[in-house]
C-alpha cells in the first residue's frame, strides 16, 4: 500500500477498504507518513465525504489506536452522553445524577474547554478539592457507589484522534461530517459504555450551523454506534442562544445545583429531562413517557441532588456547595449591563457571549492558559423578553478583569433588541 494511492482513491470517490484505512491511519499515528500526505487525504474527505463503511473503518481503527476502557466491573447497564459543545452547556452535571438516581450507571470522561465553549472538567474543578484525575479503579468504585462519576479523559484513549485533530485544526479540515463523526465516536466507543446518547448542537458557535447538518451528523453517529454494537441515539439541539442563564465555571455549577434542587425550570431543565429520559430509555427503563416521569421524580424528590453531593464528596470536593452555592469561588468584581434600547430581545449570539466570557477570564484562548473560576456572565433576561431602555439585562463577573468596558461593548453587540 502507499499513501498516494489512498489519496487518489478518495479524490476519485473510490471507496477505501478497511485494510487501507487501517494501514494509513496506523502508519500516520506511528510517525511513518508525513503530515502533508494526510492533510491532502483529509481535504479529499472534506470535499468528497466517505461512505458509511469507510467512516466505520476510520472510527474503529482510531478507537483501537489506544486503550479501550474495561467497564465490566460496573454493576449494571452503563450509559454515556456526549454533547458536541455549546455555550452554557452544563447538562452533564445534571443528567448524570438524574440518570443514576433512576438506576443506571454513568461513568463519564470529559474534557477541558478551549475557545468560546467551556469544558465539564473545568467546571467541576471550580468545586474546592474536587479531583478529576483519579485512578481508574477509584473511578469505577465511585460509579458503583453512587451510579455516577466524571473524571478527566485518559490521555491513553485514541492517540490517532489526538494527532489527526491537531492536523485538521491546522489545515481547515475540521468541518467534515465523517471526520467529526469518526473523531467523536472513536472516543465514545473507546469509553465503552453499553449505551451512548449524542446531543448534536447546531447554530452559532456550534460545529454544525444548520439543523439539517446537525441531523446528518446525528444520523451517521447513531449508525456507526449501532454498527459497533452499542445502543445509540442522538438528538439535535439549538445552540443559537446560550443554554441556561449562567456562563462560566463556578456560575454553571451553581446553576446545575439550582436545577437539581428543583428551583429553576425553563429550557435548560426541559433539555436535561429530555436527555435523561432518553438515557433511561436506551438503558431499557421503559418508554419515553415513563422515563421522563422517572427523571422528573428524581429531581423533585431530591435523589439526584443527593447523588451529586455524594459523588462530589467521594471525589474530594466540598459537597456543601449543593446546599449553599456561595461556597463556590466568588468574583472580586462585577458589572451590571443595561439594555441600550427598548424592545424585545430576539437574539443572543452564543459564540459572542462565549467569547465575552472568555475575555472575563472564564475560558482559554490557548490550551495552556489559566482559568478564573469565578468569572462569567449571568443573563438576567432571556430571548423573547421585552425590556426597557436602561433596564438591567445581565451581569458580568470576574476576579481578573476590573475594567468591563470592552466586555460590555462586545456583549451588547451580541444581543439583538428590536
Is 364 among the residues known to form the active site?
Answer: no
Is 168 among the residues known to form the active site?
Answer: yes
Q: For residue 379, what are the contacts with CB-CB under 8 A and spacing of at least 6?
A: 242, 245, 246, 247, 348, 353, 393, 394
Specify whether the CB–CB gap between 106 and 208 falls below 8 A: no
In terms of CB distance, is 174 or 211 closer to ligand URA? 174
- Binding residue for ligand URA, selected from 101, 184, 217, 378, defined by CB under 6 A: 184
In terms of CB distance, is 175 or 391 closer to ligand URA? 175
| Cα 299 from Cα 279, distance rounded (Å) | 15
Specify whether the CB–CB gap between 305 and 322 falls below 8 A: yes
**Nearest distance in Å: CB 261, ligand URA:** 31
Q: For residue 370, what are the contacts with CB-CB under 8 A and spacing of at least 6?
A: none
Length of the chain: 418
| Cα 174 from Cα 189, distance rounded (Å) | 20
**Nearest distance in Å: CB 213, ligand URA:** 13
The active-site residue, picked from 9, 63, 82, 116, is 82
Cell readout for 189 is 466507543
For position 180 contacting ligand URA by CB under 6 A, the verdict is yes
In terms of CB distance, is 207 or 397 closer to ligand URA? 207
Is 223 among the residues known to form the active site?
Answer: no
For position 45 contacting ligand URA by CB under 6 A, the verdict is no
Name the 3-class secondary structure at 329: coil
**Nearest distance in Å: CB 164, ligand URA:** 9
In terms of CB distance, is 168 or 292 closer to ligand URA? 168
Q: Among the candidate windows 173-181, 280-288, 392-400, 404-412, which touches ligand URA by CB under 6 A?
A: 173-181
Is 187 among the residues known to form the active site?
Answer: yes
The active-site residue, picked from 168, 201, 231, 245, is 168
| Cα 85 from Cα 206, distance rounded (Å) | 7
For position 87 contacting ligand URA by CB under 6 A, the verdict is no
Look-up of cell digits 487501507: 20
**Nearest distance in Å: CB 144, ligand URA:** 28
Q: For residue 256, what are the contacts with CB-CB under 8 A and spacing of at least 6?
A: 90, 93, 94, 308
Positions marked catalytic: 82, 161, 168, 183, 187
Residues of this chain that bind ligand URA (CB under 6 A): 84, 165, 174, 179-180, 183-184, 207
Amino acid at each position: 500500500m502507499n499513501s498516494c494511492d489512498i489519496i487518489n482513491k478518495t479524490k476519485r470517490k473510490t471507496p477505501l477498504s478497511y485494510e487501507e484505512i487501517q494501514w494509513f491511519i496506523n502508519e500516520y499515528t506511528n510517525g511513518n507518513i508525513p503530515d502533508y500526505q494526510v492533510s491532502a487525504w483529509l481535504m479529499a474527505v472534506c470535499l468528497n465525504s466517505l461512505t458509511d463503511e469507510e467512516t466505520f473503518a476510520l472510527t474503529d481503527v482510531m478507537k483501537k489506536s489506544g486503550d479501550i476502557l474495561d467497564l465490566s466491573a460496573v454493576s449494571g447497564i452503563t450509559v454515556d452522553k456526549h454533547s458536541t459543545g455549546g455555550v452554557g452547556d452544563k447538562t452533564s452535571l445534571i443528567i448524570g445524577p438524574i440518570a443514576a438516581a433512576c438506576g443506571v450507571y454513568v461513568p463519564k470522561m470529559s474534557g477541558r474547554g478551549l475557545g468560546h465553549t467551556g469544558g465539564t472538567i473545568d467546571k467541576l474543578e471550580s468545586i474546592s478539592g474536587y479531583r478529576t484525575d483519579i485512578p481508574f479503579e477509584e473511578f469505577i468504585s465511585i460509579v458503583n457507589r453512587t451510579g455516577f462519576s466524571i473524571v478527566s479523559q485518559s490521555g491513553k484513549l485514541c492517540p490517532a484522534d489526538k494527532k489527526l485533530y491537531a492536523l485538521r485544526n491546522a489545515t481547515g479540515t475540521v468541518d467534515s461530517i465523517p471526520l467529526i463523526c469518526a473523531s467523536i465516536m472513536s472516543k465514545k466507543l473507546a469509553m465503552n459504555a453499553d449505551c451512548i446518547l449524542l446531543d448534536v448542537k447546531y447554530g452559532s458557535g456550534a460545529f454544525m450551523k444548520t439543523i439539517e447538518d446537525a441531523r446528518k451528523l446525528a444520523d451517521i453517529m447513531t449508525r456507526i454506534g449501532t454498527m459497533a454494537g452499542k445502543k445509540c441515539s442522538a438528538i439535535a439541539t439549538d445552540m443559537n442562544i446560550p443554554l441556561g442563564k449562567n456562563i462560566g465555571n463556578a456560575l454553571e455549577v451553581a446553576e446545575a445545583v439550582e436545577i437539581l434542587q428543583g428551583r429553576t425550570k425553563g429550557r435548560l431543565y426541559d433539555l436535561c429531562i429530555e436527555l435523561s429520559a432518553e438515557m433511561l430509555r436506551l438503558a431499557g427503563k421503559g418508554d419515553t413517557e415513563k422515563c421522563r416521569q422517572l427523571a422528573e421524580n428524581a429531581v423533585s424528590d431530591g435523589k439526584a441532588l443527593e447523588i451529586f453531593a455524594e459523588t462530589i464528596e467521594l471525589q474530594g470536593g466540598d459537597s456543601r456547595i449543593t446546599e449553599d452555592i456561595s461556597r463556590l469561588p466568588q468574583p472580586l468584581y462585577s458589572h451590571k449591563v443595561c439594555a441600550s434600547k427598548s424592545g424585545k430581545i430576539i437574539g443572543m449570539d452564543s459564540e459572542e457571549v462565549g467569547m465575552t466570557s472568555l475575555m472575563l477570564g472564564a475560558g482559554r484562548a490557548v490550551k495552556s492558559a489559566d482559568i478564573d473560576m469565578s468569572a462569567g456572565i449571568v443573563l438576567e433576561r432571556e430571548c423573547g423578553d421585552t425590556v426597557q431602555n436602561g433596564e438591567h439585562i445581565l451581569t458580568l463577573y470576574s476576579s481578573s478583569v476590573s475594567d468591563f468596558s470592552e466586555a460590555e461593548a462586545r456583549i451588547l453587540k451580541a444581543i439583538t433588541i428590536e
